[in-house]
Structure 1
Amino acid sequence: MDDLIDDSGPAPRRNEAEYTVSEISGAVKRTLEDSFGRIRVRGEIGRIFRARSGHLYYDIKDDRNVLACTTWKGQISQLSVEPEEGMEVIVTGKLSGFGAQSKYNLNVDAMEVAGAGALMAMLEKRRLALAAEGLFEPSRKRPIPFLPGVIGVITSPQGAVIRDILHRLRERFPRHVLIWPVAVQGKASAPEIANAIRGFNALTLDGAIPRPDLLIVARGGGSIEDLWGFNEEIVVRAAADSAIPLISAVGHETDTTLIDHAADRRAPTPTAAAEMAVPMRLDLMAHVDGLGMRQMRAARALVAARGQRLTDLSRGLPRPEALLASARQRLDLATDRLPAALRARTDRARVALSRMEGRITPAALTGAVAERRRRLAEISMRLAQALPRAQAAKRRDLDRWATALRFAPLLRQVRQGETRLQALASRFVTTATTRQTRARDRLEALDRMRVSLGYERTLERGFAVIRAGDEIVTDAATARNKPTLRIEFAGKQTVDVATGESRAKPRAKQTPPDQGKLF
């Protein structure tokens, strides 16, 4: 049977078509692109790889399968969120094949987080990671200045937020405001906000643009997706590293973002941030007025207490009449005794002058007068120098006490006393000058009397003085007992009786009396 079958002929031809590998790959790619086109896929992001060229490769997976995804370099900026491993997202793109590796993938050009729950989970994960680094520690937070000179505001230049902040600052306490415009929503918001915070911190204190004393990062309310830029890590790190105190005013009171934890203060609304930034000017003025009133009341109470104390002390002083009674009595007794004392003193002085008349010489008298005048001039000069200083010191003490007590009547009494003191000083100077003149005139009169009563005038009338040594001879018996006599005539001419020698004594040079000066 087997021999009847001939296998040596050509093989039978098949009906299947033959394709090359490239044809099959192209057909599969066209089929995928035509059948699916642009699709949306929900899944969890797995492995992520960024090539040196800038392209992004990652996987979207569920509990059973994995879909390779690609986002080209030029498409990355269009994504609303940056892909992170473990994030549940909805990606939109075009399904295509890659024949070189017999794979198919999804070219993603749009990405969004799959639901608020996933966003909140990712937000909590990021918050815990940043908190573990210590970026939210209370010790890092700086106090807000009481009254900043310059306030930097980071927000959108359009919208009601900036108008509300400026309006509230103008109402409370106008300050100089610098605005750094940024995008507060979308992909570009996070880097712009971070750059604005770092830019304000880079300003110098003495530069052309003043460095702010306080920063406010503000935005109105919105969904979690709208506020997502303030949850980005770059913004949180910039806020934590800011050397300038920062107030976060993002969203409404119920909205919480990660920048709120890193900021030095969190405001529930942008308007509340302006209220935190500056105090109320009217409240400060009222507080200052209250302090002024308290100061006035305290000063008045102090003056009243000192016045009462002065009154109490004055009650313990004796009456002026009692203090002056003994002195007045002694003055009356002295007044009664004064005429007799003056007459007795004059008699004693006349007797003493008579005794000293023969021993007083013009030279000695002139020297004594000069010495008295010199002493009087010295005392007068010292008095003139000390009196203004004493008056000035007394005036300063009285002014200081009058100013401290704010006692107007006492100040007027001080001024009146100062006037009386100046009048007494003038009277004292006049009296001293008058007494000096009187003393000088009296001295000159006594000197003239001495000269007129001296024996020299008697000699000029033809008389002579006979001396035996230092003794004056007044009778003939004494003259007979002396071996030698000296006769003095007018003009200081002397004759020695024994020798007959005559000589003239040189007369002392008369010098004009020194008048001296009182001041």
Structure 2
Amino acid sequence: MSDLIPESPVSNAPDWTVSELSGALKRTVEDAFGHVRVRGEISGYRGPHSSGHAYFSLKDTTARLDAVVWKTSFSRLKLKPEEGLEVVAIGRITTFPGKSSYQIVIEQLEYAGAGAIMAMLEERKRRLAAEGLFAPERKRRPPFLPRVIGVVTSPTGAVIRDILHRLSDRFPRRVLVWPVRVQGDTCGPEVAAAIRGFNALAPGGPIPRPDVLIVARGGGSLEDLLGFSDEAVVRAAAESAIPLISAVGHETDVTLIDFAADVRAPTPTAAAEMAVPVRGELLAAIQAGGARLSATMARAGERRRADLRSLARLLPSADTLLAVPRQRLDLAAGRLPRALKANAAAHRLQLTRAEGRLSPHRLTQLVAGRRERFTLVAGRLDAALRANANAHRERIHRARERFEGQHARLDPAWRRLLAERGRRLDAIGKLMGALSYRGVLARGFALVRDADGQPLRSAAAIAGGQALDLEFADGHVGAVAGERDPDTPRPTAASPSGSPPKRATRGRVAKAEAKTLPNPPAQPTLFDD
């Protein structure tokens, strides 16, 4: 037999386990690629995982590299990952044995040139514009002469000095400066917090609430101005309830806050000029307007006096106007004594006539008539009340008679109903006794169950050696089934003589013992005993 088994070839190569090989590959890759700089486009980024880690890929036109940023490194990233952003990733290459793949563990992200920054800004501008943050109807006109001006800028740069100098030249106003960094990683969050902080000031509080805000910074490169294109800054500028003037960089520099601000100034100095008018020009304009107003009022007064004199010459004199009314008054005064005497006589005649109608005898007759009518009405009312009471008494009597008749019929009807229900209950009990399987057991049949108490309906369902339970009318018997002879036909009915057919016993061994089951099945299967 040993000649038939081929011998396995002998090899000097050692056997590796999967874990050993994966560990060796991991050490090789990490030793060969310590820290690398990889340029590519971020793909598949959906934000940090619930664990705080970030998973995405770096890709170019022909290849794809899995990338991971651990939670501890993600919070320190100066540039946060964004979908479609072209970056330079700095980290180390390692392997992931669970998927037999390699990946880069990123420790730092940088923009891959100005083109990547412009593409990122264009994509962010398109997304924020789609939300309506740059809509013209959201913009408001700054107040003509604000009492307090809020400035968000660096307190140590030349920008704040230019703004204060320009404001003092044009129209000195109270200025509140919220110091922020205008460059670097914290620039965006600080500027957004400053805008929201000015808006959170309560009107009339200890710190006055500005009437207009200026967000200002001097010129710089595209990377230097990125903080003013931060999404948090744009949203804070769009949500500001105080009109906001954006003055970031030179006239050719464009940041996203310029689109969300109410007014864009080409320079910080221009922002100061937009915030307040020139005090001297305003005073000159007010004085010129006052002089024109005084001259106009003087000319208007002189014209009104001339018109009044012209109209006064056209008016008639007082004697002419009052001549006719005076004559009418004299005529009325002459007729007044006679009219008063005639009026008094007429009223005296009416009083005399009324006195005749109101004599004591007449009043007595009126009272007697009213008393007679009252007596008639009282008699009719009393008769109506008695009739109404009699009618109610009759209705109550008829209702009592109906109730007594119904009560007399109720007791026999209730007894008949109980007797009928008793007969129906007896009939149902007899029917249930006739249909019960226990009556069938009393006629000589038996109920066969398996060890679980389930009824068995055919001999084919019984296996040799299976424990059985036989229920008779007077109790239960346990049994063990033997092997059934396949050539022995199964009896299906009783013989004509009335005696039960003989069962085949060849090859069958049975052991029985009496027992009682507490809860027999509700639907038994019956077999002839």
Same fold by TM-score, threshold 0.5 exceeded?
Answer: yes
Judge conservation of contact 1:79–1:187 (CA < 8 Å) in 2: no
Deviates more, 1:9-18 or 1:35-44: 9-18
Judge conservation of contact 1:59–1:69 (CA < 8 Å) in 2: yes
Q: Distance in 2 between matches of 1:26 and 1:223?
A: 46
Deviation at 1:225, TM superposition (A): 1.7
Q: Which amino acid aligns with 1:93?
A: G
Alignment partner of 1:219 is 2:213:
no
Deviates more, 1:85-94 or 1:261-270: 85-94
Alignment partner of 1:262 is 2:260:
yes
3-state SS of paired residue (2:110): strand
Q: Which amino acid aligns with 2:21?
A: I
Deviation at 1:314, TM superposition (A): 13
Deviation at 1:92, TM superposition (A): 1.1
The partner residue of 1:279 within 277, 280, 285 is: 277
Identify the residue that residue 60 of structure 1 maps to in structure 2: 58
After superposition, the C-alpha distances for 1:187-226 in whole angstroms (9 at most, x for unaligned) are 2222222121111111110222111111111111122222
Identify the residue that residue 194 of structure 2 maps to in structure 1: 196
Structure 2 stretches of 5 or more lacking a match?
A: 315-529
The partner residue of 1:291 within 289, 292, 304 is: 289
Q: Distance in 1 between matches of 2:201 and 2:308?
A: 62
Q: Which amino acid aligns with 2:40?
A: G
After superposition, the C-alpha distances for 1:476-507 in whole angstroms (9 at most, x for unaligned) are xxxxxxxxxxxxxxxxxxxxxxxxxxxxxxxx
The partner residue of 1:243 within 233, 241, 244 is: 241
Identify the residue that residue 106 of structure 1 maps to in structure 2: 104
Q: Distance in 1 between matches of 2:67 and 2:309?
A: 100
Deviation at 1:34, TM superposition (A): 1.7
Identify the residue that residue 43 of structure 1 maps to in structure 2: 40
Alignment partner of 1:87 is 2:104:
no
State, as a whole percentage, how many aligned pairs show the same letter: 58
Q: Distance in 2 between matches of 1:46 and 1:310?
A: 88
Judge conservation of contact 1:78–1:187 (CA < 8 Å) in 2: no
After superposition, the C-alpha distances for 1:348-382 in whole angstroms (9 at most, x for unaligned) are xxxxxxxxxxxxxxxxxxxxxxxxxxxxxxxxxxx
Mapping of residues 30-429 of structure 1, within 5 Å: 30-49=27-46, 50-298=48-296, 301=299
After superposition, the C-alpha distances for 1:317-344 in whole angstroms (9 at most, x for unaligned) are xxxxxxxxxxxxxxxxxxxxxxxxxxxx
Deviation at 1:128, TM superposition (A): 1.9
Q: 1:25 to 1:157 in 2, by over 3 A?
A: farther
After superposition, the C-alpha distances for 1:290-332 in whole angstroms (9 at most, x for unaligned) are 223324444565677689889999999xxxxxxxxxxxxxxxx
Identify the residue that residue 11 of structure 2 maps to in structure 1: 14
Judge conservation of contact 1:250–1:270 (CA < 8 Å) in 2: yes
3-state SS of paired residue (1:167): helix
Q: Distance in 2 between matches of 1:62 and 1:303?
A: 85
Q: 1:97 to 1:143 in 2, by over 3 A?
A: same
Q: Distance in 2 between matches of 1:216 and 1:60?
A: 40
3-state SS of paired residue (2:98): helix
After superposition, the C-alpha distances for 1:70-116 in whole angstroms (9 at most, x for unaligned) are 11222224333221111111111111222233222111122122222
Identify the residue that residue 21 of structure 2 maps to in structure 1: 24
Deviation at 1:161, TM superposition (A): 1.3
Q: 1:13 to 1:179 in 2, by over 3 A?
A: same
Q: How many residues align?
A: 313
3-state SS of paired residue (1:289): helix
Q: Which amino acid aligns with 2:44?
A: R
3-state SS of paired residue (1:101): coil
Q: Distance in 1 between matches of 2:6 and 2:74?
A: 64
Q: Distance in 2 between matches of 1:221 and 1:18?
A: 66
Q: Distance in 2 between matches of 1:310 and 1:150?
A: 51
Identify the residue that residue 413 of structure 2 maps to in structure 1: none
TM-score (norm 2): 0.55
Q: Which amino acid aligns with 2:24?
A: A
Q: 1:310 to 1:103 in 2, by over 3 A?
A: closer
Q: 1:313 to 1:204 in 2, by over 3 A?
A: closer
Identify the residue that residue 471 of structure 1 maps to in structure 2: none
Larger Rg: 1
3-state SS of paired residue (2:52): coil
Judge conservation of contact 1:77–1:187 (CA < 8 Å) in 2: no
Deviation at 1:68, TM superposition (A): 0.9
Q: Distance in 2 between matches of 1:221 and 1:247?
A: 16
Q: Distance in 2 between matches of 1:309 and 1:93?
A: 95
Q: Distance in 2 between matches of 1:188 and 1:277?
A: 27
Greater share of helix: 1
Q: CA RMSD in A?
A: 2.8
After superposition, the C-alpha distances for 1:232-261 in whole angstroms (9 at most, x for unaligned) are 222111111111000011111001111111
TM-score (norm 1): 0.56
After superposition, the C-alpha distances for 1:378-405 in whole angstroms (9 at most, x for unaligned) are xxxxxxxxxxxxxxxxxxxxxxxxxxxx
Identify the residue that residue 527 of structure 2 maps to in structure 1: none
3-state SS of paired residue (2:142): coil
Q: Distance in 1 between matches of 2:204 and 2:27?
A: 66
Q: Which amino acid aligns with 1:243?
A: A
